Amino acid sequence: MHQRKSKKILLYFFLLIIISTISNSSINNLEFKKIKNINISGLEAKNNQIILNQLKSLNLENIFSINKNQIVKLINSNPLIEKYEIFKKYPSTININIEKTKFLAKINDDGKTFLVGSNGKLILLKKHFKDLPYIFGKPNIDEFLKFKKIIDKSKFSYTQIDSLYFFPSKRWDIKLKENILLKLPNNYTNESLDYLHEFLENYNVKNFTVVDYRINNQIILDE
C-alpha cells in the first residue's frame, strides 16, 4: 500500500514538472496570431464594407483579446441591422452574420424623409420606395410598431395601405389604396379592424371616401 502511494506521488511529481515546463518555456513564448480575416454577410456589399472599415479602426489584435462590447456597440449603432451573430473561427478569423431590418413605412422628421425599420430605428431615405405607406403625424416609433402588429393580426393586408395618420390623442386613421379613409376609435383592436374589413366586403362603399368608426358600434359614411 505504501509502495502504491509512493508511485502515485512520483507520477504527480513528474506531471507537475511537465506542466511547469510547458507553462514556462512554451506559453511565455507563445504569440497569438493577429486577426487576419473579418467576414461580414447579410447587407449590401457597400454597407458590409462600411462595417468592416469601422471594425478595422478598432485595431483588433488577436481573437483572444477582442473587446466584445466594442463590436456590439458598433453593430448596434447601425440602423440597418435587425439581428446578428458573431462567430470566432480560430486562429485568426471573425465571421459576422447579419439579418437586415425590414422597411415598414416612410416618415418625415425635421424636414427629412426616413424609412422606419422593423428594429424601431429610422434610416435616412436615399432611394425611392414606392410601395411603403407614408406616416403623417409624429408618433413614437414604438406606437407605430404596436399598431402595425394589430394590423397584421387583422383581416386587412398591410399592402392595402397607402398612408397612416397619427393624432396626438394616439388615434390612427388608415387610408387604403382604394382611396378610402378609415377613421378608427382610440381603443382600436384587431377585432375592430376585422369589423371594418367585413363591412367593406359586404357593402358597396365605392361612392364613399370616408368610413368613420370612431363611435362604438356605429359606422358613418361620407363622400
63/114 same-domain check: no
Confidence bin at 145 (pLDDT 50/70/90): very high
β-bridge partners, 221: 211
120/218 same-domain check: yes
Determine what percent of the chain is predicted with pLDDT higher than 90: 53
161/214 same-domain check: yes
Q: Is residue 215 part of a domain?
A: yes
Please give the pLDDT value at position 29: 44
134/170 same-domain check: yes
Please give the pLDDT value at position 211: 93
92/195 same-domain check: no
Q: Is residue 6 part of a domain?
A: no
Q: Is residue 5 part of a domain?
A: no
Domain tally, the chain? 2
Average of pLDDT values for 208-217?
89
Helix (H) or strand (E) holding 190: helix 190-202
Alpha helices for the chain (secondary structure H): 2-21, 45-56, 68-76, 141-153, 190-202
With vertex at residue 208, the alpha carbon angle to CA 202 and CA 211, rounded to the nearest 5 degrees, is 70
114/216 same-domain check: yes
Q: Is residue 20 part of a domain?
A: no
What's the length of the chain? Answer: 223
132/73 same-domain check: no
132/116 same-domain check: yes
Please give the pLDDT value at position 21: 42
Q: Which three cell numbers stand for residue 14?
A: 513528474
pTM for the whole thing? 0.77
Q: Between residues 8 and 223, which one has the greater pLDDT?
A: 223
3-class DSSP assignment, residue 184:
coil
The CATH number given to whatever domain includes residue 162 is 3.40.50.11690
Please give the pLDDT value at position 99: 96
Confidence bin at 18 (pLDDT 50/70/90): very low
Cis amide bond preceding 133, omega within 30 = no
146/217 same-domain check: yes
List C-alpha distances in Å: 149 to 79, 80, 91, 93. Answer: 20, 20, 44, 39
Helix, strand, coil share of the chain (percent; to 5): 35, 30, 40
Confidence bin at 23 (pLDDT 50/70/90): very low
Can you tell me the distance from the alpha carbon of 192 to that of 69, in angstroms, rounded to the nearest whole number? Answer: 45
Q: Taking 80 as the threshold, does the pLDDT of residue 8 lie above it?
A: no
What average pLDDT does the structure give for the chain? 84
Q: Is residue 32 part of a domain?
A: no
Give the chain's end-to-end CA distance (angstroms, integer). 104
Last residue of a domain, one of 79, 100, 121: 100
Please give the pLDDT value at position 4: 56
187/215 same-domain check: yes
Q: Taking 60 as the threshold, does the pLDDT of residue 101 lie above it?
A: yes
Confidence bin at 114 (pLDDT 50/70/90): very high
Domain limits for position 114: 103-222
List C-alpha distances in Å: 22 to 18, 25, 29, 77. Answer: 6, 6, 10, 43
pLDDT digit string (tens) for 41-83?
999 999 999 999 998 887 777 666 677 788 889 999 999 999 9
Q: Where are the beta strands (DSSP E) in 64-171?
A: 81-89, 93-100, 103-109, 112-117, 122-124, 134-136, 161-166
Please give the pLDDT value at position 11: 55
